[in-house]
Structure 1
Amino acid sequence: MVVSSCSLSWISPCLSHKLNLPHSNYLPRNTATSSSNTVFCALETTPIGESHCQRRPLLLGIGALTANLQPTKLLFAQVPDRYRAFVDYEDGYSYVYPIDWKEFDFRAHDSAFKDRYLQLQNVRVRFIPTEKQDIRDLGPMEEVIYFLVKHRYAAPNQRPTIYDMQERTIDDKHYYTFEYVLTSPNYSSASFATIAIGNGRYYTLIVGANERRWKRVRNQLKVVADSFRLLDI
C-alpha cells in the first residue's frame, strides 16, 4: 500500500447484495431461524442515478457461504476487534463499522449504520454513476476535496474547515480520505470522508459525530474511514 498525505486548514464564512459479518463469525439477522444470514440487495435506480435497495434475507448453507467469501477472505481476516464488516458484492464495496452500531435507512444512501444511543454518530455510503475511471481523474486531491467540502458538504450557514487529506493506493485502486468540520451558529459536526471511483461509480463514505465528542471517538471513526474498499463487479 502506498500512502501519501498533506494537510490543509482554511475557514470561509457562509459558503454557497449484501453481506454483514462480525469480527469472528457471521452476523445473525434472525437468530430464531439461522445462525448465519446473508443479506442481498435488489437495486432500484432513482432518476439521478442514486442507488436504493430492498434487503432480503437469504439463508445459505455453509458450503455456499464459504464459496462466496473466497474473493474477500483476506479482508475478513483483517477486521479489527470490536468492529463488523459490511460487504456488498453486488454494488462493489465494503467497510467496517463499530460492532454495537445498528443499521438504519439514510435518505439517498445505499447503506448506513449508527450508534444505538447517539444517532448523529453514524456512517453512510452512497454512489452515483460516472464515466471517470479513477478518483485521480477528477483532478488534484487538494482541489477536489476543497470543492467538495465547500460546495457539496457545507450548507450556506456553515463554516467549513479541512484538517487533513490523505491519498491511499490499495490493490491499484486509489482513495482520498479527509477530515473536516462544519460549524453553524448552533451546532458543529466533524467527519471523515473517503471517496473512490470504480465499477463505473463514484463512491462516497462519510462517518461523523458531534464535534463535542470528536476527540473521544476520532480514532474509532478513522478506522471506519480507512477501511473502505472497492470490490470488482
Structure 2
Amino acid sequence: MLKRIAAVLLVVLSLTLTGCLGGVVGLKSYINSYDGYQFLYPNGWIPYNASNGPNVVLHDLIEQSENVSVVISPLETSKTLSDLGTPGEVGYKLSKSAIAPSGSGREAELVNAEAREGGGKIYYLLEYIVKLPAQSRHNLASVVISRGKLYTFNVSTTEKRWAKVKNQFQQIIDSFSVY
C-alpha cells in the first residue's frame, strides 16, 4: 500500500514538474553575475556586439530585427522607482529619452504601464508601439533599480510579427530579475 501511494505521488510530482517547465520550452537562461541580473531568451538567439552602450544585446539568428538588451545606467542619487514616478510617468520619460528621442525619426506610443513585485524589488513593465520611417515595432521593457543603478531590459520585434511572438516575449520580459 505504501509503495502504491509513493508511486502515485511520484507520477503526480513528475507531471506537475513537467507542467511547470512547459511554459519555458525553447528558452535559455542568461545570467550576468557580475552586474547582478538574469533573464530567459529564445534558443537560436546570439550575442551582438553593440558599441552604443547596452550591457548585452542578443538577437534572433533568422529574424535579426528581434532582439533583447540590457542597459545599466548609474543614478546620481540612490532612488526608488516611485521616486522617479508612476509606471506611466517613467514609461513616458523613457520613451522621450531613449526609445524615441527628439530628432530620432521614431515615435513611441506607451500602450501599457504597470508595476509588479519580485524578489523584494519593484519592476515597472512597459509596452510600446514604436513607429520608424520604414516599419512599426513592438517593444516590451522592464525597469528596476538595484544597487544605485537603473536597469532597463527591453525585448523588441516588428509589429508584423508581434502576434506570433507575443506570449513568448511576455515570458521573456517577466523572467528579467536583478539580485
Q: Any residues of structure 2 matched to 1:25-40 within 5 Å, and which? A: none
Do the aligned residues in 1 keep the contact of 2:88 with 2:114 (CA within 8 Å)? no
Do the aligned residues in 1 keep the contact of 2:31 with 2:39 (CA within 8 Å)? yes
Runs of 4+ aligned structure 1 residues displaced above 3 Å come to: none
Aligned-CA RMSD value: 1.8
Q: Any residues of structure 2 matched to 1:153-168 within 5 Å, and which? A: 153-155=99-101, 156=103, 157-168=105-116
Q: CA deviation at 1:136?
A: 1.8
Helix, strand or coil: the match of 2:58? strand
**Which whole-Å deviations, capped at 9, do the CAs of 1:197-219 have from their partners, x for residues lacking one?**
00121101110011111111111
Q: Any residues of structure 2 matched to 1:1-233 within 5 Å, and which? A: 80-107=24-51, 108-130=53-75, 131-155=77-101, 156=103, 157-231=105-179
Do the aligned residues in 2 keep the contact of 1:160 with 1:182 (CA within 8 Å)? yes
Aligned amino acid, residue 220 of structure 1: Q
Provide the rounded CA distance (Å) in 2 between the counterparts of 1:109 and 1:99: 21
- In structure 2, the CA distance between the partners of 1:99 and 1:206, relative to structure 1 (3 Å rule), is same
Helix, strand or coil: the match of 2:130? strand
Provide the rounded CA distance (Å) in 2 between the counterparts of 1:129 and 1:79: 34
Question: Which ranges of structure 2 fall in alignment gaps of 5 or more residues?
Answer: 1-20
- In structure 2, the CA distance between the partners of 1:184 and 1:109, relative to structure 1 (3 Å rule), is closer
The percentage of aligned residue pairs carrying the same residue is: 28
Question: Which ranges of structure 1 fall in alignment gaps of 5 or more residues?
Answer: 1-76
Helix, strand or coil: the match of 1:105? coil
Q: CA deviation at 1:79?
A: 8.1
Provide the rounded CA distance (Å) in 1 between the counterparts of 2:37 and 2:96: 26
Provide the rounded CA distance (Å) in 2 between the counterparts of 1:143 and 1:182: 17
TM-score, normalised to structure 2's length? 0.80
Helix, strand or coil: the match of 2:24? coil
Q: Which has the higher contact order (CA 8 A, sep 6+)?
A: 1
**Which whole-Å deviations, capped at 9, do the CAs of 1:180-211 have from their partners, x for residues lacking one?**
01113322111101110001211011100111
Do the aligned residues in 2 keep the contact of 1:133 with 1:198 (CA within 8 Å)? no
The corresponding residue for 1:56 is none
TM-score, normalised to structure 1's length? 0.62
Provide the rounded CA distance (Å) in 2 between the counterparts of 1:93 and 1:191: 20
